[in-house]
Structure 1
Amino acid sequence: MNGPVTLFRESPEDPFSVTGAASAVLDHRGTVVGWGERAETLLGHRAEEIIGRSAAEVLLAPGDRDHVLDAVAACLECRGWFGIVPVVRADGDRVLLGVRARCVTRGSPDCEWFLVAAPAEAVIQWETDRSVLDGLFRRSPIGLAEHAPDLTVLRVNRPIARIGGVSAEQARGHRIGDFLVEEDARTIDDRLRQVLETGRPMIFTEQSCRLRADPARERFVSVSAFRMEDSEGQVLGVTQLVEDVTERHRARRRLALLDDAGARIGTTLDVTATARELTEVVVPALADCVSVDLLEPVSRGEEPSQDGLGPVRRTAAKSVVARSEQVQYPVGELIHFAPHTPQGTCLAEVRPVLVSHIEGIDGLSAVAHERARQAQEIGVHSVMLLPLAARGLVLGLVTLWRARHPEPFEDDDLTLAGEFAARAAVCIDNARRYTREHHAALNLQCRLLPAELPDLPAVDVAHQYIPAGAVAGVGGDWFDVIPLSGARVALVVGDVIGHGVDAAATMGRLRTAVHTLADLDMEPEEVLSHLDDLVHRLAAEQEANARDFPNDQVTGASCLYAVYDPVSRCCSVARAGHPPMAVVTPDGKAGFPDLPAGPPLGLGGLPFEAMEFDLPEGSLLALFTNGLIQTPCHDVDEALELLTAELSATTRPLAETARNVVDALLPARPTDDVALLIARTRVLASERVATWTLPAEASAASQARALMNDQLSAWQLEEMAFTTELIVSELVTNAYRYAGGPVTLRLIRGPCLICEVSDSSSTSPHLRRARSTDEGGRGLFLVAQLTERWGTRYGREGKTVWTEQALPTTAPAGAGVPGVSG
């Protein structure tokens, strides 16, 4: 108040305002003794015409008079009355007026009546509005509070009094901060003050509401507010409507968490990642600390025990509470829960355990065991344990703690956490099953790939095999380095269509077939032709078995087969639907030879073509599968540029080059298997190779022995002369006897002593055991006994029979290492 008197302008909506209502005064007999100007305007009766006359006779119609007088008589006991009265205007029209009558006295025993009247429509509307206001304060389920401009409480209704924990009378004169915790009260005060200052209403703002008397219980209210003003616009305060929406808020939050869990749990087929996703969904939305413990076999992707018993391994954990690591076991630790503990009960009986209120150190000892004291220090007061079970198998359990969050876990929280656990359990079981299959396929793949590559005189090699990520699974990519006769080497890279165990098994069959064909010393195009026939037959077998094995993958593959000769520096390459290999010369120039493409393996009946080219010593060959260059990170052209850039650094070690290629081209989780084989060519020095052409005459064998003995003396291998002489004599004699034409003898000193005899015949010698009566047939048997390996390879103009002998352990220094120039 600014002074002793406070003035208000009457509202134009008030039907009984001075400017809107008619007034009259009646004496105790009902005679009109006073008549207002508004009454004359409203009813048409002038004051001089109606004063002194009976109001009932002038203003009431004969048919209404008795009813009105009876109603008025019934209200006399209250010394006043209020109602709708039919009144006759001066022009004879009958109108309805809302009339209020109050008894007044002038010092005599008789009383007079002061009447105020207004049109019935306005009065009824006013009464309806008053009833709404009365209902808001007395019967509405929504809380209503009136605040003065200084935000003290003027009036509250019963619902908001219940929220505040006081009666409506006790709330008057207090502030919000007297009932709510400081943080929540300050937020509401700030918003109400903003409504007071700006006049803009606040609509449906959700707000935390914690009482000072019970700060652990968190409520949520929906608040709307508007500024109160009088008819002149003077601010009278602010009114807020408050609805308790705690249950609705929690239900909405639970639905949001379930939706979030559906999107975030199970995004990978990895057991550990799935457990970690569960912890990220739960904390801090539902719990302050959470841990996921899986039975030991499950953590390895194996089948758990049917009874759910056994040690568990802490697979994932998350907390927002300081020093929680003092209570929780670290990730990776093996834990043994006794059967009588809540954890043991949860696993054995496959049922959730809820401990809403943990009482004292004894209560904590039941769930935190030897770490109960630390749990008490960080404020743990509520815990839930839920089993992880799917498809009839117990996989582990989830433990949820509350320490910082003041409210204890409730049954609704247990239901929500159970939904999380059920979804996570199915995803973990899927991941476990996939992990088991993935490990089986990966182990099969790794066992079928070469464990160690041989040290060969032809090439220096390095390799990389990168299995596909979890989604795609292990594929059928492979590589091989196969030593051939004459110090040559076969470099092989292939790719089987599909993924999983089927692809790995098919890869193993093809790799075995390549080894067999390589031992036959076939040309690259012939090797691919035989592989094509094999893949075609495998596809036919799978098609025939499709009824019994409907999920079998269709067999198909690609392959690149290269043969390098370190003596001639010639490289012969053929490919079947495979990316071409990269060639980098010693000066760093990289390129991709335009090799004939050839169809993929398995189409059948189509020819393959090989390409030959000479390589300078120290050239780099890179054979790879398409997973290296077909990635989401790069298009093919960009990948090939990156590949050549990494290969051009020819001075780096091969193993480092192979790693750099993989790092530059592949993402962290490749979508396809990758096999990479890098080889640096070597050349056998001329002093380690001796070649002679012998005439087709009877003295060829003796000439061969003499030449051989001289060469072994030059190589300081005289102790090998006797056995080598027998071998050379037998091979040259057979060539002279059965082939005709000149004979070529070649000796190669590498890791072993290689002897080759070539002729123009295509007849293959066969090893047999001679009978006692046979005069011959023991030569090749003798050769086989004196050598480590022997065999025959065919060329375009004849054949070559070759043998390999181990060098003596007393050979001169360097005799047992690859004899390469440079």
Structure 2
Amino acid sequence: MAQLPTFPGERPHEASAPGGAAYTATATIGDDGVVTQWGEGATRLLGYAPAEVVGRQAALLLADGGAGPGVEPGSDRWSGTVALRHRDGRRVEVPLLAHRWTSTGGTVKWSVVSAVAGAAEEPWDAPLNEWAFAQSPCHLAVFDADLRLLRANTGMQRTLSLTEEQMRGLRLPEIAPDPVSEETERRMRLVLETGEPQRLTAFVPRMGEGPEQGWETSLAALRDRDGRVRAVCLAAHDRGGAEGLPHPEHLRLAEEFTAGAAGAAGAPDAAGGGPGSGGAHGPGREHREHTTTMTLQRSLLPHTLPQQGALEIASRYLPAGGEAGVGGDWFDVIPLSGARVALVVGDVVGHGIRASATMGRLRTAVRTLADVDLPPDELLTHLDDLIIHLSADEADPDAPEESAGGIGTTCLYVVYDPVTRRCTVARAGHPPPAVVSPEGSVYLLDVPAGPPLGLGGLPFETVEVELPEGSLLALYTDGLLQAREHDLDEALDSLFVALTRPASTLDTVCDRVLTALLTHRPEDDVALLVARTRVLHADKVVVWDLPSDPSVVADARRYTTDQLASWDLDEASFVAELVVSELVTNAIRYGEPPIQLRLIHENDTLICEVSDASSTAPHMRRARTFDEGGRGLLLVAQLAQRWGTRHAPTGKTIWAEQSLVGF
């Protein structure tokens, strides 16, 4: 391979940013040592353009042709200082931090980052060390105005398994690559911009440990003597209780420390008063209720998104700040039959425990109604009835208006089918979803608004559209668009810009949306659900039209075994044959033509569907000893992982899902 271009050498020097501006140099190196990506910062650091480096061995960048850094076998991370060769021939001493990761396609790569410090660092006063690090029970780190790490105490170094020197100058997502690190950094940016403290539950696992080891995190602005925000203090404690203190005590100490840190930096009351103060932000009954409501709200929201192949999904939930307290915003992702997925976002009127409890009832009702495959407009009609009944049951002339059973609640319900690429949507007074096409055009889906839930008597309408593969859907509650510093049109413009910016992950999209629209803690809850559409292509779906003749059952079994053989699923044929035989026989005996058999191979699941024109749904029952029939659906229920009935405007579909794990 040709050598990289060189120029006459100069004296060795350490890397520093011209003009005093710090930046990060990034590159990606394959497991075979070949450079696969070369960032702008790397070009600034060493002078090589991407075309001069990508596709060549990284060892060619080493000064004097020296050996590369030694990495222990099986290690997923390496850090140290390496002598590299600048394009003009100079030796450059570069501190590197490298993370090994495997893509979804199985390709192994090393992500390499280097923090290039500014030419001059402004000195920090000695008191910083006194109050920030002296005998703290918390893990502490200080990040500058560019969100690059300045200091980390012993607890933080131990948690991240890196020394302060190895982390200095790097951003948190570069130190611990993880979507939660990006969310924490976004919240730190809010602290810099607003000066207001932030609290979040961040699950950043320690190296080599599971997700049960995580942090409860407080973020506070650090100000100079003139009151300017100069840095952010991150104070975290171990959820696993490794410091030997009970969980509430951890929270109290983290709160006290963060509030004290902000005050010592020249910002009295920046954290809203310490936990021992008698002010409005101190602990009291306005505080216990908020904590109880927050706990209830988070327990009712989904903690993990279900496994499904139709959509790539990311989500965010931000509770309201200020006196309003936690509201009833919520979201859900519900797998449906036929490889389809339902997305739902709702906003219960009011705040506090009553709103959270109503939200929990609605979410449970939506899941129950989704399980019976109701169309979106019918599902909203049932929710409307539920809100009316709740309002009647909870009628109290002395209760505040906002707690009247949830009347005025809004909801958006979306069903996406990866086989047909069709998206079916209905909404009850809720903002419509935003759609970004693969080409980058963005628009609001034209869905009739429908009335809010609880009014009764008014219909909901369903809209069906076809979406190209790779389209982006954004569902949100109105708290996202109702920030006080801009009107609705400005908010929509900001939303559209954030959604259309290129991003490597949907978590990045979520963070950009929240950063663009929220410059402070929201006055109303915010729920955000972002999904990118996938498609089950023709090689994963087969359909046969069957005559209404008992002799066709044998043909249906043969079609099934032949198709499974072509999918290399021969071992699944025995169960699939029995299921198909029973469903087709049932359709011929009790249904009406036309009859159709469909097989779908989705990841680790085989879906068998038989449709006919009769709207009469079958019922599973136990056959008596001398009965000639009645055992078919019982057999299907025993063989299948899930089964059920899905109604259409004309006719029905009986479906059964068979797990392919182990085949």
For residue 297 of structure 1, report the CA deviation from its aligned partner: 11
Q: 1:715 to 1:537 in 2, by over 3 A?
A: same
Distance 1:689 1:719 in 2: 19
Q: 2:470 aligns with which of 618, 621, 644?
A: 618
Number of matched pairs: 417
Matched, 1:748 2:600: yes
For residue 489 of structure 1, report the CA deviation from its aligned partner: 0.5
* 1:62 paired residue number: none
Distance 1:321 1:691 in 2: 71
Distance 2:256 2:421 in 1: 58
* 1:18 paired residue number: none
Q: 1:603 to 1:649 in 2, by over 3 A?
A: same
* 1:788 paired residue number: 641
Structure 1 alignment gaps of length 5 or more = 1-266, 271-275, 277-295, 303-311, 323-330, 333-387, 389-394, 397-423, 811-822
Q: 1:670 to 1:300 in 2, by over 3 A?
A: farther
Q: 1:724 to 1:570 in 2, by over 3 A?
A: same
Correspondence list, 1:298-337, <5 A:
none
Q: 1:599 aligns with which of 442, 451, 469?
A: 451
* 1:555 paired residue number: 406
For residue 772 of structure 1, report the CA deviation from its aligned partner: 2.2
Distance 1:526 1:533 in 2: 11
For residue 427 of structure 1, report the CA deviation from its aligned partner: 3.9
Query: The residue matched to 1:640 in structure 2 has which SS?
Result: helix
Matched, 1:687 2:574: no
Distance 2:517 2:400 in 1: 37
Alignment TM-score, normalising by the size of structure 1: 0.48
Question: Per-residue displacement from partner, 1:139-182 (whole Å, max 9, x unpaired)?
Answer: xxxxxxxxxxxxxxxxxxxxxxxxxxxxxxxxxxxxxxxxxxxx
Q: 1:629 to 1:744 in 2, by over 3 A?
A: same
Q: 1:699 aligns with which of 546, 551, 565?
A: 551
Query: The residue matched to 1:525 in structure 2 has which SS?
Result: helix
Distance 1:791 1:592 in 2: 34
Return the letter of the residue paired with 1:464: R
Distance 2:512 2:357 in 1: 30
Query: The residue matched to 1:604 in structure 2 has which SS?
Result: coil
For residue 716 of structure 1, report the CA deviation from its aligned partner: 0.9
Matched, 1:803 2:656: yes
Distance 1:497 1:641 in 2: 26
For residue 433 of structure 1, report the CA deviation from its aligned partner: 2.1
Matched, 1:764 2:583: no
Single out whichever of 462-471 and 616-625 deviates more from structure 2: 462-471
Distance 2:430 2:259 in 1: 43
Correspondence list, 1:360-759, <5 A:
425=278, 427=280, 431-543=283-395, 545-546=396-397, 552-556=403-407, 557-751=409-603, 752-759=605-612
Correspondence list, 1:121-136, <5 A:
none
Query: The residue matched to 1:784 in structure 2 has which SS?
Result: helix
Contact 1:488 1:564 in 2 (8 A): yes
Question: Per-residue displacement from partner, 1:408-441 (whole Å, max 9, x unpaired)?
Answer: xxxxxxxxxxxxxxxx536465x43222211111
Question: Per-residue displacement from partner, 1:286-317 (whole Å, max 9, x unpaired)?
Answer: xxxxxxxxxx9998899xxxxxxxxx977865
Contact 2:596 2:610 in 1 (8 A): yes
Query: The residue matched to 2:284 in structure 1 has which SS?
Result: helix
* 1:406 paired residue number: none
Contact 1:598 1:607 in 2 (8 A): yes
RCO higher in structure (CA 8 A, sep ≥6): 2
Distance 1:560 1:550 in 2: 24
Query: The residue matched to 1:606 in structure 2 has which SS?
Result: coil
Distance 2:457 2:570 in 1: 52
Return the letter of the residue paired with 2:501: A
Correspondence list, 1:66-77, <5 A:
none
Return the letter of the residue paired with 2:638: Q
Return the letter of the residue paired with 1:775: E
Correspondence list, 1:166-177, <5 A:
none
For residue 653 of structure 1, report the CA deviation from its aligned partner: 1.3
Contact 2:646 2:654 in 1 (8 A): yes
Contact 1:479 1:493 in 2 (8 A): yes
Q: 1:650 to 1:766 in 2, by over 3 A?
A: farther
Alignment TM-score, normalising by the size of structure 2: 0.59
For residue 616 of structure 1, report the CA deviation from its aligned partner: 0.4
Query: The residue matched to 1:437 in structure 2 has which SS?
Result: helix
Structure 2 alignment gaps of length 5 or more = 1-195, 200-219, 221-245
Larger helix fraction of residues: 1
For residue 578 of structure 1, report the CA deviation from its aligned partner: 0.4
* 2:3 paired residue number: none
Distance 1:764 1:610 in 2: 24
Q: 1:628 to 1:742 in 2, by over 3 A?
A: same
Distance 2:463 2:606 in 1: 30
Question: Per-residue displacement from partner, 1:563-604 (whole Å, max 9, x unpaired)?
Answer: 010000010100000001101100000001221110000001
Return the letter of the residue paired with 2:344: V
Q: 1:646 to 1:425 in 2, by over 3 A?
A: closer
Contact 1:268 1:470 in 2 (8 A): no
Query: The residue matched to 1:425 in structure 2 has which SS?
Result: coil
For residue 775 of structure 1, report the CA deviation from its aligned partner: 2.4
Contact 1:598 1:608 in 2 (8 A): yes
* 1:384 paired residue number: none
Question: Per-residue displacement from partner, 1:83-138 (whole Å, max 9, x unpaired)?
Answer: xxxxxxxxxxxxxxxxxxxxxxxxxxxxxxxxxxxxxxxxxxxxxxxxxxxxxxxx
Contact 1:483 1:489 in 2 (8 A): yes
